[in-house]
Amino acid sequence: MSTITAESSAGHRSSAPSGGPSNLRKAASLLTIAAGLVLLASTFINNLFAVGPAFEDLTDDFRPLLVQQSLDTAKDDVAGVAAVGDEFQTTMGPALAEQMGLTPKEFSAMMDQQFPAVSDGMAAIPEVTPTFDGLLATLQTQQPLFESADAIPTENLPATTVPWAMLIAGILSIIVGIMIWVTARTGAFLALVLGGVLIIAPLALSLPQKASDADQLNANLQPVYTQELVTQAAGAVTVLGAMGEEMQTTMLPALADQLGMSQDELNAMIGDNFPAVASAMQTLPDSMARFQGLVGAFDQNLANYDTIKSVSFVPIIWTMIGAGAVVFVSGALAFVGRPRAYAAA
């Protein structure tokens, strides 16, 4: 009888847990910690705490410019400038030369000497307007991609939340991994919850598609969004602005004197015979302000774009989802690896 009791007691002792984590729990713990380290590494390797604010600043500045109404207005502005250049060169210039008794060559020389800004602007229009037309066409085609990228992570949350989400998720994964090692049930439960959030949230927010659109937008803009483009566009706006100002303040009053007309009579004559120039006299200041706003947005955000363009967003999002899958599976392994004696722990 005592022998049986001793054997039974020995058998009970041999089946009792040693108190340390099982191999499955150890693996689950280490995998969860590794997933957290990957999230932290991705955050800092991709410089997300610089990329996030740069992305947010850029999208904030370009958002009003890429509204369809703004694009349509900008196209009308370019068309108006092109019409002024064409009408002045083909109709108004020759007509004024005839009224002043000058040959076309003499009229051109007079313009160069007395109104150099107008002369330079008219000469530049055939080159300037295609440049802006091309820029606006690029913005138009990229509009859907921009709208999608602008919603990272959501329309109401700024892009600056992404690096913080990655950082916090990484830290939480490490903490949960340690908890799996220490306490199976609690750690496993938290791993399942955290892993599920890291998988479901990006998919529910369509982050893979938004990230893909952001990367495609980045690739499409790289050939055109350069310092050379910004400098060229800024120079064009300066030339056209100077042309409009000199035309209004100097050329038209001087022409009225030379033609023996009052300013009102000259304006009426231009309105009757040269509608594109007459319209530009009214709209050019506002058009120039809009051009300056467009070029200013490109100029002010060139450094932001340089920060963003080397980053691919798709791998970052899938890193988050993949880490979530690892954490979730680790939680399941931790449950499986719990010692029976601690099933209720």
Give per-residue pLDDT as tens, 199-233. Answer: 999 999 999 999 999 999 999 999 889 999 999 99
Give per-residue pLDDT as tens, 294-345. Answer: 999 999 999 999 999 999 999 999 999 999 999 999 999 998 865 554 444 4
Q: What is the mean pLDDT of residues 131-153?
A: 94
- pLDDT exceeds cutoff 60 at 11: no
Tally the residues of the chain.
Answer: 345
Measure the CA–CA gap between 304 and 47, rounded to whole angstroms. Answer: 13
* Nearest residue to 323 (alpha-carbon basis) of 40, 55, 63: 40
- pLDDT exceeds cutoff 80 at 198: yes
The structure's pTM equals 0.83
- pLDDT exceeds cutoff 70 at 5: no
Measure the CA–CA gap between 313 and 210, rounded to whole angstroms. Answer: 9
Residue with more model confidence, 323 or 127: 323
* For residue 153, cis peptide bond before it (omega within 30 degrees of 0): yes
- What is the 3-state secondary structure of 106-162? HHHHHHHHHCHHHHHHHHHHHHHHHHHHHHHHHHHHHHHHHHHHHCCCCCCCCCCHH
Contact between residue 214 and residue 152 where contact means Cβ atoms under 8 Å apart: yes
Measure the CA–CA gap between 99 and 244, rounded to whole angstroms. Answer: 23
Contact between residue 127 and residue 256 where contact means Cβ atoms under 8 Å apart: no
Longest dimension (CA), the chain: 138
Tokens 């959501």 correspond to what residue? 154
pLDDT of residue 340: 52
Give per-residue pLDDT as tens, 41-96. Answer: 999 999 999 999 999 999 999 999 999 999 999 999 999 999 999 999 999 999 99
Residue type, 67: V
Q: How many CA atoms lie within 13 A of 75 on its CB side?
A: 13
Backbone Cα Rg of the chain: 34
Q: Which helix (H) or strand (E) holds 292?
A: helix 275-300
Q: What is the DSSP code (8-state) at residue 22?
A: P
Which of these ranges, 104-108, 172-176, 189-193, has the smallest mean pLDDT?
104-108
Structure tokens at 338: 């719990």
Give per-residue pLDDT as tens, 33-45. Answer: 999 999 999 999 9
Contact between residue 61 and residue 297 where contact means Cβ atoms under 8 Å apart: yes
Q: What is the DSSP code (8-state) at residue 311?
A: -
Tokens 């000199």 correspond to what residue? 246
Query: Angle 116-150/68-87 helices, nearest 10 degrees?
Result: 160
